[in-house]
Amino acid sequence: MEQHHKDPLHGKTLQVILTELVAHFGWETLGLHIPVNCFTNNPSINSSLKFLRKTPWARKKVEDLYLRMKE
């Protein structure tokens, strides 16, 4: 029997979440929602992932925005 997880982030990597956010919003709008340098100054997936993995408060903001986008 297949289990269904209530957590919508279950099984989603940070890279998948970030890639979907960038595809949906674009870097400029993403930087307006979450004003951090890795989104506003020469943004890239790799530099953003490095920052988000070291910065729990920013990762939480990214995850929260992703959840709002999926509603």
**Which residue ranges form the domains of the chain, and what is each CATH number?**
14-70 (1.10.720.30)
pLDDT grade, residue 10 (50/70/90)? Answer: confident
What is the distance between the alpha carbons of residues 16 and 3, in angstroms, rounded to a whole number?
Answer: 22
What is the model's pLDDT at position 20? 97
pTM of the model: 0.89
What is the distance between the alpha carbons of residues 10 and 12, in angstroms, rounded to a whole number?
Answer: 6
pLDDT in tens, 12-65: 999 999 999 999 999 999 999 999 999 999 999 999 999 999 999 999 999 999
**1 neighbors 47 (Cβ within 8 angstroms):** no
Instruction: Give yes or no for residue 1 having a pLDDT over 50.
Output: no
